[in-house]
Structure 1
Amino acid sequence: MAMDAIALPAPRPHTSPRGRTWVALRTFLWIDRNAWRPRHASVAVDGQTVSITGRPTHVVWDMGEATLTCQGPGVPHRDVCSYSYRRAASHQVSVTVYYSVTWTCAGACDTPGGTFGPLPATTALRLVIGEIQTSTR
């Protein structure tokens, strides 16, 4: 019940450039910083109170041609978490935040607490990758 009560929100991803990028151009990646915080929930039933906390640990970006792991939410327009595409294409990019989850139980409990996870929260976006060619004429 405590797991059902905790809300691990799907990340809200951002790229710069937004929606379209170019082959060999560094594309900056980040999620909303206010989502990068612990989530808590508690449930009380029959003399037991279970409290659960999920803490974000890392973000995995599946860029369509490669996967990238970032240790934090990224920073808008900064090279903290970025990727450069190798080919022109259109990709469904998935973004997953992984949460480390701990729980405690107070009252008439069989176990005082523990950990489990990592638990994922995923969302996706479409990103078009173009290619710029120059002429030497």
Structure 2
Amino acid sequence: MCAPTGGADHCITLPEAPRTSTADVAQMAMDAIVLPAPRPHTSPRGRTWVGLRTFLWIDRNTWRPRQASVAVDGQTVSITGRPTHVDWDMGEASITCQGPGVPHQGTCSYTYRRAASHQVSATVYYAVSWTCVGACDTPGGTFGPLPATTNLRLVIGEIQTSTR
């Protein structure tokens, strides 16, 4: 619609504002979600021994789904990150545990073969999926798996006996 201004007829046509793509809104939701790094634990704590089973676990409160939502241009993207497994780099080998592990027991464990000092890492992998409702150009998708890692120092000693 044009209206006369200042004694002349002028029409100014402004381009339509570009619409935000659903993929961009999904990325905004991805940027908003917090996928926490694990708090790894070992038993024995801080020091273990060659040939002794060392139990591994992360805090259970980190082993739950995390969510975030973002709404832009009539579309709402909801994103969920679910932990799937924990990879442990033990310094001399790596193992995978399907859950968070159990303090001081269970199947998530490792037995060292050599005395050393290692930086051990626990990496939780999150399967991240998203859905969109509203004026979406894509109904949903996935990111990931996405890792979150924490390190700790572990000293592995060796006990020797003599027969005299």
State the TM bucket, normalised to the shorter chain.
Answer: over 0.9
- TM-align CA RMSD: 0.7
1:43 to 42, 63, 70: 70
Q: State the partner residue of 1:76.
A: 103
Specify the SS of the correspondent of 1:73: coil
Between the aligned partners of 1:6 and 1:79, the Cα distance in structure 2 is: 31
The one of the two structures with greater contact order (alpha-carbon pairs below 8 A, sep at least 6) is: 1
Match of 2:122 in 1: 95
Task: Write out aligned runs for 1:1-137 (5 A).
Answer: 1-137=28-164
Residue in 1 aligned with 2:7?
Answer: none
Please give the alpha-carbon distance, in whole angstroms, between the structure 2 residues aligned to 1:130 and 1:45: 56
1:47-102 superposed Cα distances (whole Å, 9 cap, x missing partner):
11110000000000000000000000000011320000010000000110001111
The amino acid of 1:17's aligned partner reads P
| Structure 1: unaligned runs, 5 residues or longer | none
> Higher strand proportion, which one?
1
Q: How many residue pairs align between the two structures? A: 137
Q: Tell me, in whole angstroms, the C-alpha distance in 2 between the residues paired with 1:10 and 1:131.
A: 31
- Counterpart-to-counterpart distance in 1, 2:106 and 2:99: 12
Q: Which has the larger radius of gyration?
A: 2
TM-score by length of 2: 0.82
Percent of aligned positions that are identical: 88
Where in structure 2 are there 5+ consecutive unaligned residues?
1-27
Point out 4+ residue stretches in structure 1 off by more than 2 angstroms: none
- For normalisation by structure 1, the TM-score amounts to 0.98
